[in-house]
């Protein structure tokens, strides 16, 4: 079964052909979904932030310049004499280079780079997992809708034939007008149901386009060939839950590592800051502005600068304790996350097993309904059963078929929820 119209979409030289399969949709989404593009940009931003923080290890070179004209030259008293100190016009140009040798902030930046990259990669992984799950569910939802529309169309076909037969029987005087009016009511209701189903299908296609990063105005069709939903519902329910497989757990562990590094940084604040510097200044003085730059009086020096923190009002001690408390809080976050993951897995597993039972029951009911309908139809044609009994059998058949499809989709959806809870969703497509 194939949807309407042909899908021809191009973005960044990436094309999604018409009648796309589920694997093609997932691959396309992993390359084009907006949230994934944003996550890639966030990673690139993170790399720039790391490079910016580590640039402090390179020499920091600055140039300065000044030009001043003294309206009144400063004076001073030396040995009882008032002497003017300086000249009317002064100018200087200087270059200074500083090289950090011992810096707590740079130590922290160097060690944090690894965890920042890890954090960005985990954010991308989380987005890819959600993309695979969401696209798969949307695909199965559309497939369910397409099958539901087929069932409704088959129902309309049966009702149309029943209406025609009831009308002929009425016109020949075999029955009163009640039967064909009931048939017309059922037919009209089925057509209204078909219109609603088509509208919902259009929305589901738009939702899938959004997940794919496509414009909703673009056309999209899906291929459902060789897609046996029943063959995809089985799952190994004996797999053991491992918290480390969940990206959310690893993200929290990364936050914990970053916080531990922040605590270490606060302790490093007791260390002195040591740096080397070199400077050169070109100085110019003259009372005549036109002769200001005639003679240079240079100065230059190299040396070391040392800053030793002695007392900061216990600020460093308070910051260390605050950071340690934040570490403790993240430990509780990890424990809480373990409880949440366990509960999520338990709920997903319960839902999967419940939906499997519902699916088996729906499948059996559908098969029974088909047998009942076929039998009553033969009996009605033979004049043994009333039209009301035929309508009831028809309604039961349609309901059981739709219930079967909904139960099948619920099983597939809960299977994806279990895989997500286990952290085993395949994102390497």
Q: For residue range 356-369, what is the model confidence (pLDDT) as tens digits?
A: 999 999 999 999 99
Instruction: Round the average pLDDT of the chain to a whole number and report it.
Output: 89
Residue 14: pLDDT band (50, 70, 90) is low
Asked if 37 and 256 touch (Cβ cutoff 8 Å), the reply is no
More confident residue, 292 or 386: 292
Residue 100 vs residue 238, higher pLDDT:
100
Rounded distance, CA 429 to CA 417, Å?
Answer: 19
Q: What is the pLDDT of residue 4?
A: 37
Q: Which residue, 164, 342, 183, 359, is CA-closest to 248?
A: 342
pLDDT at residue 1 in the model? 36
| 243 or 182, which is more confident | 243
Confidence at residue 59, expressed as pLDDT on a 0 to 100 scale: 95
Residue 12 pLDDT > 60 = no
Taking only the tens place, the pLDDT of each residue in 191-224 is 999 999 999 999 999 999 999 988 888 888 888 7
Confidence (pLDDT) at 175: 66
Strand order in the sheet with 89-102: 60-69, 89-102, 273-286, 299-307
- Distance from C-alpha of 185 to C-alpha of 391, rounded to nearest angstrom: 11
pLDDT for residue 164 is more than 80: yes
Reported as half-sphere exposure (CB side, CA atoms, 13 A), residue 394 has a value of 25
pLDDT tens digits, 314-339: 999 999 999 999 999 999 999 999 99
Residue 78 or residue 7, greater confidence: 78
Cα gap 140→151, rounded to integer Å: 16
Residues in the chain: 429
* pTM of the complete model beyond 0.85: no
* pLDDT at 218 (0 to 100): 86
Taking alpha carbons only, the member of 137, 157, 126, 112 closest to residue 26 is 137
Residue 237 banded pLDDT, cuts 50, 70, 90: confident
Torsional class of 89: left (φ above 0), alpha (ψ -120 to 50), beta (otherwise): beta
What distances in angstroms separate CA 334 from CA 16, 240, 243, 262, 329, one per listed residue?
A: 41, 19, 10, 18, 9
9-60+102-272+311-422 belongs to which CATH class?
mainly alpha
């Amino acid at each position: 079964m194939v949807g309407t119209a042909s899908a021809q979409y191009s973005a960044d030289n990436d094309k999604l052909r018409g009648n796309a399969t589920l694997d093609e949709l997932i691959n396309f989404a992993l390359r084009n979904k907006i949230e994934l593009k944003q996550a890639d940009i966030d990673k690139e931003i993170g790399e720039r932030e790391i490079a910016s923080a580590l640039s402090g290890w390179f020499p920091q070179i600055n140039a300065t310049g000044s030009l001043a004209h003294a309206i009144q030259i400063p004076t001073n008293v030396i040995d009882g004499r008032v002497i003017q100190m300086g000249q009317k016009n002064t100018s200087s140009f200087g270059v200074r280079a500083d090289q950090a040798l011992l810096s707590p902030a740079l130590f922290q930046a160097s060690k944090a780079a690894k965890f920042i990259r890890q954090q960005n990669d985990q954010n991308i992984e989380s987005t890819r997992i959600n993309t695979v799950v969401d696209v798969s569910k949307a695909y199965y939802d559309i497939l369910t809708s397409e099958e539901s529309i087929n069932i409704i169309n088959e129902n309309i076909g049966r009702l149309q034939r029943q209406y025609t037969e009831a009308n002929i029987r009425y016109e020949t005087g075999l029955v009163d007008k009640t039967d064909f009016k009931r048939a017309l009511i059922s037919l009209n209701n089925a057509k209204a149901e078909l219109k609603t189903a088509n509208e919902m299908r259009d929305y589901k296609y738009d939702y899938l386009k959004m997940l794919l990063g496509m414009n909703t105005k673009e056309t999209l069709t899906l291929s459902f060939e060789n897609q046996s939903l029943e063959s995809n519902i089985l799952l190994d329910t004996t797999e053991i839950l491992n918290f480390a497989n969940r990206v959310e757990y690893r993200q929290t562990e990364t936050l914990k590592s970053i916080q531990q590094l922040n605590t270490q940084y606060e302790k490093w604040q007791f260390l002195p800051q040591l740096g080397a510097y070199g400077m050169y200044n070109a100085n110019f003085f003259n009372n005549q502005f036109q002769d200001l730059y005639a003679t240079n009086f240079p100065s230059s020096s190299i040396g070391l600068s040392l800053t030793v923190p002695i007392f900061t009002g216990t600020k460093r001690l308070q910051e260390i304790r605050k950071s340690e408390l934040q570490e403790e809080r993240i430990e509780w976050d990890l424990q809480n996350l373990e409880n949440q993951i366990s509960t999520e897995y338990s709920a997903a597993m319960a839902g999967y097993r419940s939906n499997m039972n519902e699916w088996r029951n729906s499948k059996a009911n559908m098969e029974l309904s088909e047998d009942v309908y076929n039998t009553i139809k033969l009996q009605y044609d033979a004049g043994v059963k009333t039209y009301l009994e035929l309508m009831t059998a028809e309604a039961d058949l349609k309901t059981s078929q739709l219930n079967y499809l909904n139960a099948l989709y619920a099983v597939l959806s809960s299977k994806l929820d279990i895989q997500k809870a286990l952290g085993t969703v395949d994102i390497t497509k």
